[in-house]
Amino acid sequence: MRTIAIPPLLLALFVVPFASPSSAQAQSVGELMASMQRGGGWVSVPIENGTGRVSTATLPTVGLTVAGCVHVWAGHTGRWDIRARDALGKGQLSMEAGAGESVPFTYTAGMRSKLEIDFSWSEARDTTLFLWVGLARANQDPASTCEPIDG
């Protein structure tokens, strides 16, 4: 397993859970902090004809450093290509994972972030992508957050 530096993909995934590709609704800062305190959560992304896209509004990230792991639900098939970029900064992510695979990450955001995330599936059909986004607490190894937590 390799660790990669990414833009706040984690934040985008928690900010736009259950959002359609054309519209995203943000969680409150309190909800985001609660997710971080719980150690993460499951996120769903609608996929149409093998692709999906999520964009966020501009987020106040005030230099927040986040670390954790993105884990593709084991019940999926095929391969997933996830490409994210911060339209207000230099941060980017390019990762590929299959069912049951995880990718640890760390990232320090700027003062604000606006994220654009594209998802491509190796199968050209409709589904919902389920991702576990685990969040490390202070002084915790991000790789230790790859296993989804119940509850």
CB 109 within 8 A of CB 7: yes
Give SS3 for 35. helix
Q: End-to-end CA distance of the chain, in Å? A: 26
The CATH number of the structural domain formed by 4-145 is 2.60.120
Distance of CA 8 to the CA centre of its chain: 8
Burial of 80 (0-12, 13-18, 19+ CB in 10 A): buried
Q: Please, which residues have CB within 8 angstroms of residue 87's CB and are 6 or more apart in sequence?
A: 114, 115, 116
**Each residue of 107-137: pLDDT tens digit?**
778 889 888 999 999 999 999 999 998 888 7
Residue-wise pLDDT tens digits, 46-95: 999 999 999 888 888 888 877 888 899 999 999 999 998 888 888 787 88
- For the chain, the structural domain boundaries read 4-145
- The mean pLDDT of 2-12, rounded to a whole number, is 40
Model's pTM, two decimal places?
A: 0.74
The pLDDT tens digits for 20-47 are 333 334 445 566 567 667 788 888 999 9
Among 119, 70, 61, smallest CA distance to 89 is for: 61
63's enclosing H/E stretch is none
The strand pairing partners of 49, in sequence order, are none
